[in-house]
A and B are shown apart, each in its own frame.
Chain A
Amino acid sequence: MAKKGNQDMAPSRREKKTFGQYVLALILLTITIITAAPIYLVFVSAFTDEMYIVKNGFKFFPKAFSFNGMHAVLRYGKQLGTSYGVTIFITLVGTVFGLLIMSMFAYAISRKDFRLSKFLSIFLLIPMLFNGGQLSGYIVFTNYYHLKDSLLLLILPLCVSTMNVIILRTYIVNSIPDELMEAAKIDGADEFRTFFQITLPLLKPSLAAVGFMMATAYWNDWQNALLYIDSNNKKPLQLLLVKIQKSISFLLSNSNVPASARAALGGTIPQYSSTMATVIIVIGPIMIAYPFFQKYFVKGLTVGSVKG
């Protein structure tokens, strides 16, 4: 790792400040701006006056600002608050639980003197090669486990992934010397203390990277919610987004809905600016958390293979 620092400084690796470097910088800057533009558009539209959007369409530089969109969203606040709670709950519980059981499993299959680890590795690998697909999953979970409308179905399907276990296992094998674990055992620590006090703390960089990816997956999961969740008090944020879209397209496709009815619904069904305001509220926390985890991405996400 120390070497990497040197490379960044090495003069021969990159051209000095030549004309070409400025051209390259300009091209990359353009790409960055193009990437950021749609996100910027969400923010600016959320604070654009509704009538202005209806008349002129979405604009990068609108001329009429208003907080009405944000107000409207916060007005139907109760559901938003509940959904925020649900999303935070499943994200936290799912990520912590998943990280814990996956690192325990990764630790077990990385032990060379544990003969069962070969079977466990194969057991771990098979779901990556072959799976039952959405339909039979849906029927098994609802018809046999009777978990329809249960938060368990938002947590369990995303908490273990073969790829993440492999990443954690690779990190344990490559970056945590066996001698440390041996030494702890000689000092009288049992397996559980060794794992929780030596291995787990050293696994931190990998846990941070995998954990952030998991948290994002939980936060962004709309599919399981759409399939399984019915009651309002269990709807996560993403489902709210999906439903907003459904109600808008319903309104637009039924042009024979009388104007007065539309006006009456106007307060509860968010149109352009308030939809964008909702998007901000939904994606905001990830945008804020992401820079803190970015430094772990390259270091913590090296994938190896499952074979010992």
Chain B
Amino acid sequence: MKDFWKNTIKHWPYVVFALPVFLVLFFIMYVPMAGLVMAFKTFDYSKGIWGSPWCGLDNFKFLLASKSTFITITRNTVLYYIVFTSIGTFLNVVLAIAIDQLFFRKMAKVMQTIMIVPVFISYAAVQFIVYAFISTDTGILNNTFGMSTRFYSTASLWPYILTIAKIWKDTGYGSVLYMSVLAGIDSELYEAAEIDGAGRWKRILHITLPSMVPMITVMLLLSVGNVMRSDTGLFYQITRDSGILYSTTQVIDSYVLHAIFQNSNFGFTAATSFFQSVVGLLLMLFANWLVRKIHPENALF
């Protein structure tokens, strides 16, 4: 222990280096963690988080009693995670291989550059693009196909709309990571395979795909830790936070955001937040444990 302090004092410049981030994390991330005790209190704005009276598990009873909202937002959160992750990973991998296989390199580069662009457009802006496609009177879809679908009040269509918007926004950028893996494959492997008479599909199947498996596993497992968190902008902005669509579009994050603006139901919301954080923690620990079992060098900790 004495050694430890000696070492720390000897390296005081490192302590100075680490201090700003330490303080930012402490005040921005750590203090709000303590705020989660709100889930066990009857929150009163004037008394603050600490001054509000304890109420035990009442908020959680409330949560379970008002089943429909809690179950809907949890179900939506998890289902969208599954759909986005499975379709997203598949498309990222396929796109990365396709671009990597293309003989015309200049063209591949330009196309990749264009495909990455949507990731840099905020959802606050994307929602106007979506509107241009699906608005009832002026939307391209209705006008092109002579329909008069009221997209903004038809909840059943939104899983498709949101999935398409998400794919459009993220696929190009998502493939960059896998491109970097492909760039690292030793050319000699391909040459050897070609000498052995393997065709293009054989080479993709036996060289390209297996070399991507570690990265795919790691990315999938790490994403498990974020099941309970969603891309808030997608669900809050693109749907215009429209109540009619909640049954298929509201997720935990957008619910909490909405509740903050309505200034209501803080007990319920705090209990939901608590649930979200704790489940997130457990999933993250589980995911990292799995990665450690399979690819120890890729584990986060």
Q: Does B bind A?
A: yes
Seen from chain A, the residues whose Cβ lies within 8 Å of a Cβ on chain B are 4, 6-8, 10, 12-17, 20-21, 24-25, 27-29, 31-32, 35-36, 38-39, 41-42, 45, 53-54, 56-60, 101-102, 104-105, 107-109, 111, 113-117, 120, 122-141, 143-145, 156-157, 159-160, 165-166, 190-192, 195, 216, 219-223, 227, 238, 241-242, 245, 249, 272, 275-276, 279, 282-283, 286-287, 290-291, 294, 297-298, 301-302, 305-307
With the chains together, A242 CA to B233 CA distance in Å?
A: 11
Known: A25-B102, A113-B7, A136-B38. A4 touches B183 (CB 8 A): yes
B191–A276 touching, CB < 8 Å: no
Cβ–Cβ contact A135 & B266, under 8 A: yes
Known contacts: A104-B18, A123-B25. The answer to whether A130 contacts B280 by CB under 8 A is: yes
Looking at the assembled complex, report how far the CB atom of B278 sits from the nearest CB atom of chain A, in whole angstroms: 8
Given known pairs A131-B32, A132-B34, the reply for A13 and B187 (CB within 8 Å) is yes
Cβ A115 vs Cβ B17 within 8 A = no
Shortest C-beta distance, A139 to chain B (Å), equals 6
Given contact pairs A116-B15, A132-B29, A136-B34, enumerate 18 new A-B contacts (beta carbons under 8 Å).
Answer: A25-B102, A29-B111, A31-B115, A58-B143, A105-B18, A105-B20, A108-B15, A124-B25, A133-B32, A137-B35, A160-B21, A221-B122, A223-B232, A283-B121, A290-B116, A294-B116, A298-B179, A302-B180
Q: Which residues of B contact A58 (CB under 8 A)?
A: 132-133, 135, 138-140, 143
Interface residue SS majority, chain A: helix
Whether A123 pairs with B115 at a CB distance below 8 angstroms is: no
A to B CB contacts below 8 Å, 17 in the list: A4-B183, A21-B102, A27-B98, A38-B118, A38-B129, A114-B14, A115-B4, A115-B7, A116-B4, A133-B274, A140-B32, A156-B24, A159-B24, A227-B257, A241-B128, A286-B121, A298-B183
The 3 A-B residue pairs whose C-beta atoms are closest, nearest first, are: A136-B35, A132-B32, A220-B122
Cβ of B157 under 8 Å from chain A: no
Are B128 and A275 interface neighbours, CB within 8 A? Answer: yes
* A contact residues around B183 at 8 Å (CB): 4, 7, 298
Q: Give the residue among B18, B139, B172, B276 with the most A Cβ atoms within 10 A.
A: B18
Binds A, one of B60-68, B72-80, B293-301: B293-301
Interface of chain B, main secondary structure: helix
A243 to chain B, nearest CB (A): 10
Q: Name the contact of B128 in the complex, choosing from A17, A143, A245 (C-beta under 8 A).
A: A245
A144: chain B residues at CB < 8 Å are 31, 48-49
Once the chains are docked, how many angstroms separate the CA of A17 from the CA of B101? 11
A6 to B28 Cα, complex, angstroms: 47
When distances are taken between beta carbons in the complex, the residues of chain B under 8 Å from A291 are 113
- Residue B197 interfacial (CB < 8 Å): no
Give chain B residues whose Cβ lies under 8 Å from the Cβ of A116.
Answer: 4, 7-8, 11, 14-15, 18
A15 contacts which chain B residues (CB < 8 A)?
A: 101, 103, 200
Give every chain A residue within 8 A of B280 (Cβ-Cβ).
129-131
**Are A125's CB and B301's CB within 8 A?**
yes
- For residue A58, give the distance in angstroms from its CB to the closest CB of chain B: 4
Cα–Cα, bound, A17→B240 (Å): 48
Q: Within the complex, what minimum Cβ distance (angstroms) separates B273 from chain A?
A: 4
Decide yes or no: A287 and B8 within 8 Å by CB, A140-B35, A223-B257 being known contacts.
no
Report whether A305 and B120 are in contact in the complex, using a CB–CB cutoff of 8 Å.
Answer: no
Contacts of B32 in A (CB 8 A): 131-133, 136-137, 140-141
Known: A109-B18, A159-B24, A165-B21. A12 touches B191 (CB 8 A): yes
User: What distance in Å separates the Cβ of B151 from its nearest Cβ neighbour in chain A?
Assistant: 13
- Whole-angstrom CA separation of A25 from B102 in the bound complex: 7
Residues of chain B touching chain A, judged by Cβ–Cβ distance below 8 Å, are 3-4, 7-8, 11, 13-15, 17-18, 20-22, 24-25, 27-36, 38, 45, 48-49, 95, 98-99, 101-105, 107-108, 111, 113-118, 120-125, 127-129, 132-133, 135, 137-140, 142-143, 168, 172, 176-177, 179-180, 183, 185, 187, 190-191, 194, 200, 225, 232-233, 237, 240, 253, 256-257, 259-260, 266, 269-270, 273-274, 276-277, 280-281, 284-285, 297-301
Complex contacts, B232 vs chain A, CB 8 Å = 223
Task: Determine the chain A residues whose CB is within 8 A of the CB of B194 once the complex forms.
Answer: 12
A132 contact from B8, B179, B277, Cβ within 8 A: B277
Contacts known (A28-B98, A29-B111, A192-B13); A133 close to B273, Cβ less than 8 A: yes
Question: In the bound complex, what is the Cα–Cα distance between A31 and B77 (angstroms)?
Answer: 28
CB distance from A298 to the nearest CB of B (A): 5
B49–chain A nearest beta-carbon distance, Å: 6
Instruction: Identify B237's interface contact among A21, A135, A222, CB under 8 A.
Output: A222
- A301 and B180 CA atoms in complex are apart in Å by 10
Looking at the complex, which one of A10, A143, A165 makes contact with B187 (CB distance below 8 Å)?
Answer: A10
- Residue on A nearest B123 in the bound complex, by CB: A222
Distance, CA A95 to CA B72, complexed state (A): 38
Which of A59, A111, A131, A290 is within 8 Å of B29, CB to CB? A131
